[in-house]
Structure 1
Amino acid sequence: MADSKKPHVVILGAGLGGTVAAFEIKDALGYAADVTVVNRGSTFHFVPSNPWVAVRWRKREAIEVQLEPVFRKRDIRLLPQGCSGVRPADNQIDLGDGGVLDYDYLVIATGPELAFDEIEGLGPTPGFTQSVCHVDHAEVAADAFDALAANPGPVIIGAVQGASCFGPAYEFALILDTELRRRKVRDRVPMTFVTSEPYIGHLGLDGVGDTRGLLESEMRNRHIKWITSARVKKVEAGMMHVEAIDDDGSIKANHALPFTYSMMLPPFRGVAAVRGVEGLVNPRGFILADKHQRNPTFHNVYSLGVCVAIPPVGPTPVPVGVPKTGFMIESMVTAIAHNLRQEINGQEPTNEATWNAICLADFGDGGVAFFAQPQIPPRNINWAASGKWVHLAKVGFEKYFIGKVKRGESVPFYERLALDLIGAHRLKEPSSTPSGDQA
């Protein structure tokens, strides 16, 4: 049980953000506070490897870590029964087994709920499309991919309206292309990329560097057609109904696209435990946060990662969310850890997340890397590059991050990667060049 004499910090969620947050918050607070993690289950999954699981380049157990012994070693309590509700006015959360947990500070790191139900026929159960958002889905997608390889036919990959993470869709489309060529059936698999983005390479960020040119070139070289500003109306068995939307919001074209296999990233919304809590969330259920990652209404509630409410970079014909990349999440974690230490010491929080973006998009035999500082335009750094080295870097990142979780370490990764990619002086020193300068 938590020591009643100490402040009690509860972290809700043990994904990429929540797990590292537990380590870093424990490092920052030491014995000055008790730390508890509430999660549905006790297993960490390395989500960026899900596309590899879906083509059998990885097995599930290779990307999992059992958290109980790791947390025990770090003196972090783990409650695997999950959360059914958050009551910030009472400083309590309702646990999945009917219990109640009190907290002094709450850090919400739940990630999103996958809103397959918002589009008829979307999703692996009970719909007709696959997903790589969870390792359970990726395993189902792997079985469906084997069936495709045995009986080739049309493929549709992409992201629907309301999605706010587009990198995995590009990754999976090009990884699928690579594996189909290895299995020597690519010539019998027409591929179409369907996305709510206004152009290829938008990524919810209005592009980074020349992501548009790099990704369009990859698509053309691999004979993948695309439909942008796409609104998926419904999915039936073997048929996807898509509207292409013009800049003025009118329907430019209707498409009935046959498919044998499809993977579409779904809309995101806040998890059920927080949706509808007045003052805590926006209408989609994402957590409201100020520049210190604190909720404006409930000042002892912090949030990080995909569950945080961030407005879109600008108007688009079809709704496009903003991704929360690893670098941004890592900086949110660090800001929260330092702010909690300040609060426990009786000070006002002063730390802010940097909100930079860095991404390694693996294509199986190459890839695209990009770095944006800050993530939202206009930027001081706007950089993108491609090459076989990206695939190798992604493999190295996987091994490093899973190892870090197994060791219970909170050492930042993304800033070091950014320094290696673009040079320490560009990241660390204030920009003295015109805003149009690009790395």
Structure 2
Amino acid sequence: MSESHIVVLGAGLGGTIAAYEIRAALKGRARVTVINRGDDYWFVPSNPWVAVGWREPEAIRVHLPPVMKKHGIAYNNVGAAKVHPAENRVELLDGSAIDYDYLVIATGPELAFDEIPGFGPDGHTQSICHTDHAAAAYIRFEELCANPRPIVVGAAQGASCYGPAYEMAMVLDTELKRRKIRDKVPMTFVTPEPYIGHLGLDGVGDTKSMLESEMRDRHIKWLTNTRVTQVEDGVLHAEEVNEDGSLRKAHDLEFGWAMLLPAFRGVAAVRDVPGLSNPRGFVLTDKHQRNPTWPNIFGLGVAIAIPPVGPTPLPVGVPKTGFMIESMVTAIAQNLKQILDGEAPTHEATWNAICLADFGDGGVAFVAKPQIPPRNTNWSASGKWVHLAKIGFEKYFLRKVRVGESEPFYERLALHVLGIKKLHFK
């Protein structure tokens, strides 16, 4: 009997650790191939630091082919054009194709900048979603420092990742103070969240009070329940809405530097594939991370469909945080092992969340167990120790990717880096 071929589509946080963990769990019983566009892994959580010059892009890059080869994982850097589930085939961008027995989709999202006129790196705002975006944002940041003007930071309607927006605002505040020009740079935070600290999770612990307090202390004004309608050079047009979604007030915010996180959608390779994805292009999965229509396809991370935690006046998505993604990876690896043993899959992701939001000179940490309420653990804290913990997190996780470590990481982060053993993670 020939060995099964497992293809992992994507080599971001989820895809990279999925390849390592699946290979280790199956112990040579299957071939593993990673399909990715390009050869590098980038530690995206450090992108706010790149945007203010605290990190060089090269410092957060891992060149993947040698690591994958060392662990017996094939690597293809062409990128996927389309998944063809009925044929068990992934069509590549160069017209070639790779067949699979099992497919793990970990592509991350496509960034929907085009849904708002003038929005994004090809328009008039900056981005920290990709490291090259953050590097370009740093060039524009230096221009701002030479000619101080207002800053607008936040997220667009439909966004499902809010932590980096808060980080970016606070890190900017810290760096501008270091340069002694903060007094010349008014800052406004714009978000579709119904309140500051919602985070797409209806808050965690006391994040509402803590983040509001941070913004008041740092003289950052904010607009919640706000959608961006258009961006022109130096002016962001936004609409603040009431609880029923009706227009409350229109805002024209002048800026010299602006960064707002976009809404996400599924990538073209999986979007509009019957039975595979929802209308937004996110992969449909069951409690075992399997697609109901195509059970030999698994999905994880930002690529999968998760409903919002509750109704909000504007679309507010649910983040897929690192701990949550890692639990999906482990569930998939163990389910594949059961399937190859001739058993039905039984493993489910725990969907816990642990996040470190660095503010440059402090930060906020929170633990949500599970990530989506109601929760058994709902904890948050703040302090300078969070900044130090984020530095340790960066160092540790980059090492994990560089050496191909397959052991789960976030549970140890909760227990050892944060020192919160009282929470009794299992």
TM-score, scaled relative to structure 2: 0.98
Residue in 1 aligned with 2:18?
Answer: 21
Q: Number of paired residues?
A: 425
1: CA distance, partners of 2:214 / 2:257: 21
Decide which of 65, 77, 81 is 2:78's aligned counterpart: 81
Cα deviation, residue 30, structure 1: 1.5
> Any conservation in 2 of the 1:370–1:383 contact (CA below 8 Å)?
yes
SS of the equivalent of 1:385 reads strand
Residue in 1 aligned with 2:98?
Answer: 101
Residue in 2 aligned with 1:434?
Answer: none
Residue in 1 aligned with 2:362?
Answer: 366
Q: Which runs of 5 or more residues in structure 1 are unaligned?
A: 430-439
Residue in 1 aligned with 2:108?
Answer: 111
2: CA distance, partners of 1:222 / 1:294: 45
1: CA distance, partners of 2:397 / 2:70: 18
Counterpart check, 1:330 vs 2:343:
no
> Any conservation in 2 of the 1:368–1:384 contact (CA below 8 Å)?
yes
Q: Provide, for residues 26-78 of structure 1, a one-character-per-residue CA deviation record: whole Å limited to 9, x for no partner.
A: 00012100000000011110100111111010001100011011000000000
1: CA distance, partners of 2:51 / 2:60: 13
Q: Provide, for residues 177-204 of structure 1, a one-character-per-residue CA deviation record: whole Å limited to 9, x for no partner.
A: 0001111110000000000100000000
> Any conservation in 2 of the 1:418–1:427 contact (CA below 8 Å)?
no
> Any conservation in 2 of the 1:248–1:317 contact (CA below 8 Å)?
yes
Residue in 2 aligned with 1:391?
Answer: 387
Residue in 1 aligned with 2:272?
Answer: 276
Amino acid at match of 1:58: R
1: CA distance, partners of 2:89 / 2:258: 41
Residue in 2 aligned with 1:340?
Answer: 336
SS of the equivalent of 1:170 reads helix
After superposition, where does 1:275-354 map in structure 2 within 5 Å?
275-354=271-350
Counterpart check, 1:203 vs 2:199:
yes
Decide which of 386, 399, 404 is 1:408's aligned counterpart: 404
Residue in 2 aligned with 1:49?
Answer: 46
Amino acid at match of 2:66: P
> Any conservation in 1 of the 2:411–2:425 contact (CA below 8 Å)?
no
1: CA distance, partners of 2:300 / 2:138: 31
> Any conservation in 1 of the 2:149–2:256 contact (CA below 8 Å)?
yes
Counterpart check, 1:179 vs 2:175:
yes
Amino acid at match of 1:17: G
Amino acid at match of 2:394: E
> Any conservation in 2 of the 1:165–1:203 contact (CA below 8 Å)?
yes
Counterpart check, 1:242 vs 2:238:
yes
Residue in 1 aligned with 2:250?
Answer: 254
Cα deviation, residue 424, structure 1: 4.1
SS of the equivalent of 1:101 reads strand
Cα deviation, residue 249, structure 1: 1.1
2: CA distance, partners of 1:387 / 1:250: 38
Decide which of 26, 31, 42 is 2:28's aligned counterpart: 31
Amino acid at match of 2:330: T
> Any conservation in 1 of the 2:393–2:413 contact (CA below 8 Å)?
no
Counterpart check, 1:426 vs 2:423:
yes
2: CA distance, partners of 1:182 / 1:238: 25
> What is the RMSD computed on CA atoms of the aligned residues?
1.0
TM-score, scaled relative to structure 1: 0.96
Amino acid at match of 2:213: S
Cα deviation, residue 425, structure 1: 5.6
Residue in 2 aligned with 1:189?
Answer: 185
1: CA distance, partners of 2:142 / 2:128: 15
Q: Which runs of 5 or more residues in structure 2 are unaligned?
A: none
SS of the equivalent of 1:93 reads strand
Cα deviation, residue 426, structure 1: 3.2
Cα deviation, residue 418, structure 1: 2.0
Residue in 2 aligned with 1:435?
Answer: none
2: CA distance, partners of 1:15 / 1:376: 23
> Any conservation in 1 of the 2:363–2:382 contact (CA below 8 Å)?
yes
> Any conservation in 2 of the 1:116–1:123 contact (CA below 8 Å)?
yes
> Any conservation in 2 of the 1:70–1:408 contact (CA below 8 Å)?
yes
Residue in 1 aligned with 2:119?
Answer: 122
2: CA distance, partners of 1:215 / 1:263: 18
Decide which of 203, 225, 236 is 1:229's aligned counterpart: 225
Residue in 1 aligned with 2:154?
Answer: 158
SS of the equivalent of 1:41 reads coil
2: CA distance, partners of 1:69 / 1:63: 17
Closer, same or farther: CA 338–225 of 1 in aligned 2, 3 Å: same
Counterpart check, 1:8 vs 2:2:
no
SS of the equivalent of 1:273 reads coil
SS of the equivalent of 1:31 reads coil
SS of the equivalent of 1:36 reads strand
Cα deviation, residue 5, structure 1: 1.5
Q: Provide, for residues 356-399 of structure 1, a one-character-per-residue CA deviation record: whole Å limited to 9, x for no partner.
A: 11100000000000000111111111000000000000000000
2: CA distance, partners of 1:395 / 1:218: 20
Cα deviation, residue 260, structure 1: 0.7
1: CA distance, partners of 2:194 / 2:352: 22
2: CA distance, partners of 1:428 / 1:221: 34
